[in-house]
């Protein structure tokens, strides 16, 4: 059974993954999968816009691989999810990365650095891995050495961890110290900063993608939950924060949906498409 859509269909759905589209376990619920499929069948393009690096997309490709394109690393890279192909990157100059490393190391002692680039990733010994990738071969050396010897060519994401600082305080201080050189944001529950080239955000790369596709921002509906989503949510013609979003996101975004655990993205898509929720169908 279907209902009548409450408003004109968007041309593109732009959704964050972790904490927004994905279940807490990292998968996609049957209801959300059905909503995404229905959107594409209705002619709506689905683009995933995530802080994850391209190499982490393999973790969710079984769930989302059929839906095409992912903007990764907060706008630093664009990936064809179906083929696992890196389409484009927006690199951070090594000189700017080195400046930021030096500034943050001096002003925020205890900071440790890691790098995402087309060839993989590299890190300092003090940058402890808490998620996927610890078993992948990678270089481990001081950040200054990794930048100086060219091991991180094409760098599109610089990461910084701190063992003690509050995540929001860490972000605020880092922006104060180095925000004129790069974009600095965060999406993790612990003190982890995500840094890209100045001007490169989820919004900027999504705007580039939409321009190439002939899609106006007014035709985009976006979903997110963390500070790294704010620019995208502000740029899109229509935007929703999931109920579990960071307080700053909830305050900045007028439209809210239920949490990712309750299929918040699917709930909005069903309404836009005029569909009954999956558990009510049949």
242 and 178 part of one domain:
no
Q: Confirm whether 4 is domain-assigned.
A: no
182 and 103 part of one domain:
yes
Q: Confirm whether 1 is domain-assigned.
A: no
Residue recorded with tokens 């190391």: 105
Q: Confirm whether 2 is domain-assigned.
A: no
34 and 156 part of one domain:
no
Order of all β-strands in the sheet with 157-161 = 139-140, 120-123, 112-117, 157-161, 192-197, 182-185
CA distance 19 to 28: 11
CA atoms within 13 A on the CB side of 93: 7
226 and 105 part of one domain:
no
132 and 145 part of one domain:
yes
Q: What integer pLDDT is reported at residue 151 of this predicted model?
A: 84
Q: What integer pLDDT is reported at residue 264 of this predicted model?
A: 98
181 and 99 part of one domain:
yes
256 and 123 part of one domain:
no
**The tokens of 214 are what?**
């002939």
104 and 34 part of one domain:
no
81 and 176 part of one domain:
no
Ranges of residues in the chain whose predicted pLDDT is under 70: 1-7, 58-67, 130-135, 278-282
> Residue 81 contacts by C-beta under 8 Å, 6 or more apart in sequence?
48, 57, 61, 64, 65, 67, 68, 69, 70
Query: Which of 175, 197, 219 delimits the end of a domain?
Result: 197
Q: What is the domain-level CATH number for residue 233?
A: 3.40.50.1000
Q: Confirm whether 5 is domain-assigned.
A: no
CB 57 within 8 A of CB 72: yes
273 and 217 part of one domain:
yes
Q: What integer pLDDT is reported at residue 56 of this predicted model?
A: 75
Q: What is the domain-level CATH number for residue 176?
A: 3.30.1240.10
Q: What integer pLDDT is reported at residue 4 of this predicted model?
A: 47
Q: Confirm whether 151 is domain-assigned.
A: yes
CA distance 161 to 71: 23
Q: What integer pLDDT is reported at residue 11 of this predicted model?
A: 96
Q: What integer pLDDT is reported at residue 81 of this predicted model?
A: 85
The per-residue b/e assignment along 133-143, b for 16 or more CB within 10 angstroms, e otherwise, is beeeebbeeeb
Q: What integer pLDDT is reported at residue 7 of this predicted model?
A: 67
Q: What integer pLDDT is reported at residue 2 of this predicted model?
A: 47
Q: What integer pLDDT is reported at residue 182 of this predicted model?
A: 98
Q: What integer pLDDT is reported at residue 129 of this predicted model?
A: 81
Query: Which of 197, 227, 248 delimits the end of a domain?
Result: 197
Which structural domain range is residue 149 located in?
94-197
**The tokens of 33 are what?**
């999968």
Q: Confirm whether 50 is domain-assigned.
A: yes
Q: Confirm whether 152 is domain-assigned.
A: yes
155 and 106 part of one domain:
yes
Query: Which of 146, 178, 197 delimits the end of a domain?
Result: 197
The structural domain count of the chain equals 2
- What pTM did the predictor assign? 0.92
73 and 31 part of one domain:
yes
Q: What integer pLDDT is reported at residue 5 of this predicted model?
A: 52
Q: What integer pLDDT is reported at residue 64 of this predicted model?
A: 65
Plot region of 129 (φ>0 → left; ψ -120 to 50 → alpha; else → beta) = beta
């Amino acid at each position: 059974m279907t209902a009548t859509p409450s408003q004109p269909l968007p041309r593109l759905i732009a959704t964050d993954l972790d904490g927004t589209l994905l279940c807490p376990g990292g998968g996609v619920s049957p209801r959300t999968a059905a909503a995404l499929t229905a959107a594409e069948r209705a002619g709506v393009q689905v683009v995933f816009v995530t802080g994850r690096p391209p190499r982490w997309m393999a973790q969710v490709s079984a769930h989302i691989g059929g839906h095409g394109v992912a903007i990764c690393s907060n706008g630093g890279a664009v990936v064809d999810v179906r083929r696992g192909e890196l389409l484009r990157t927006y690199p951070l100059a090594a000189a700017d990365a080195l400046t930021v490393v030096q500034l943050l190391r001096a002003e925020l002692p205890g900071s440790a650095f890691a790098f995402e680039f087309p060839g993989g990733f590299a890190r300092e010994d003090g940058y402890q891995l808490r998620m996927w990738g610890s078993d992948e071969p990678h270089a481990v050396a001081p950040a200054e050495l990794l930048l100086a010897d060219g091991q991180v060519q094409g760098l599109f994401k610089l990461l910084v961890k701190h063992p003690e600082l509050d995540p929001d305080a860490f972000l605020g201080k880092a922006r104060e110290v180095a925000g004129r050189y790069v974009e600095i944001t965060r999406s993790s529950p612990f003190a982890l900063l995500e840094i890209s080239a100045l001007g490169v955000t989820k919004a900027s790369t999504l705007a580039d993608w939409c321009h190439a596709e002939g899609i106006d921002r007014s035709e985009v509906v976006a979903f997110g939950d963390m500070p790294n989503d704010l620019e995208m949510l502000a740029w899109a013609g229509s935007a929703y924060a999931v109920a579990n979003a960071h307080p700053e996101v909830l305050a900045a975004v007028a439209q809210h949906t239920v949490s990712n655990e309750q299929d918040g993205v699917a709930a909005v898509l069903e309404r836009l498409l005029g569909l009954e929720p999956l558990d009510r169908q049949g």
